[in-house]
Amino acid sequence: MNVLVLNGSPRKNGNTERLLSHVIAGIEEGSKAEGLSAPVVVREQIGGRLIHGCTACFACSRNSNMRCIQEDDCVNDIVAKMAVADAILIGSPTYFADLTPETKAIIDRCGFVVGGNGDFLRRKIGAAVVAVRRAGGIHAFDSINHFFLIKGMIVPGSTYWNIGVARDIGDADRDEEGVRTMKNLGLQIAWLHAKLAGK
């Protein structure tokens, strides 16, 4: 299984990154249990990079060449990685009860390129992961899931919504239920991939 993991936090080794790592550990364990080969995981640091917003030029729909016309940031590279992924994890910390701007820019830009190119994310697996200090995490979680669902992706559940409660770097590892939720999410993703692959 090819897994693309996008970390929307500007803190490279922060809580979102830790939570995503727990999901990956679950996918690895679940892949073994399902008799799948080890997952190929590609991690991309989105947060902290300069990523332009969508300019609503609609060139991606006119050109249908799997590219955004803005070539001076990482978006087209991410689009190409999305195209070959079986599962896409998007993680973001909660910023004012929503996503980081970098995560939102990826969703807007990639979302339009995907729409202008035959909705190629259809039936891939999508999972949102969110770090939150106190409140607004569910809204950020919903924002990511809106992207997956409008693109026809399949969104597995876990044993709670995929949110880790954390403030300072490292807190996420101490949120025992959050860690368990991420691990279980990974197991679910592996199980679902096995079913989709006819295993």
Distances (CA, A) of 7 to 45, 48, 92, 102: 5, 10, 6, 10
Q: Work out the angle at residue 104's Cα, subtended by the Cα atoms of residues 5 and 179, and round it to the nearest 5 degrees.
A: 45
Q: Closest residue (Cβ) to ligand FMN?
A: 14
Helix (H) / strand (E) element for 125: namely strand 125-132
Which two three-digit tokens encode residue 47?
Answer: 């947060």
**Pair 44, 4: CB distance under 8 Å:** yes
Stretch that binds ligand FMN, among 71-79, 105-113, 161-169, 173-181 (CB under 6 A): 161-169
Taking the C-alpha atoms of residue 11 and residue 14, their distance in angstroms, rounded to an integer, is 5
Q: Which of residues 85-114 bind ligand FMN (CB under 6 A)?
A: 93-97
Q: Is 84 in the site for ligand FMN (CB under 6 A)?
A: no
Q: Is 21 in the site for ligand FMN (CB under 6 A)?
A: no
36: which DSSP letter? P
Q: How many Cβ atoms sit within 10 Å of the Cβ of residue 94?
A: 23
Stretch that binds ligand FMN, among 65-73, 105-113, 133-141, 191-199 (CB under 6 A): 133-141
Which CB atom, from 84 or from 97, has the smaller least distance to ligand FMN?
97
Q: Is 139 in the site for ligand FMN (CB under 6 A)?
A: no
Q: How many residues bind ligand FMN (CB under 6 A)?
A: 19
Q: Which of 85, 132, 163, 179 binds ligand FMN (CB under 6 A)?
A: 132
Which CB atom, from 41 or from 163, has the smaller least distance to ligand FMN?
163
Distances (CA, A) of 152 to 65, 78, 89, 116: 20, 18, 15, 14
Q: How far is the CB of 22 from ligand FMN (least distance, A)?
A: 13
User: Rule CB under 6 A: which residues touch ligand FMN?
Assistant: 9, 11, 14-16, 93-97, 131-136, 166-167, 169
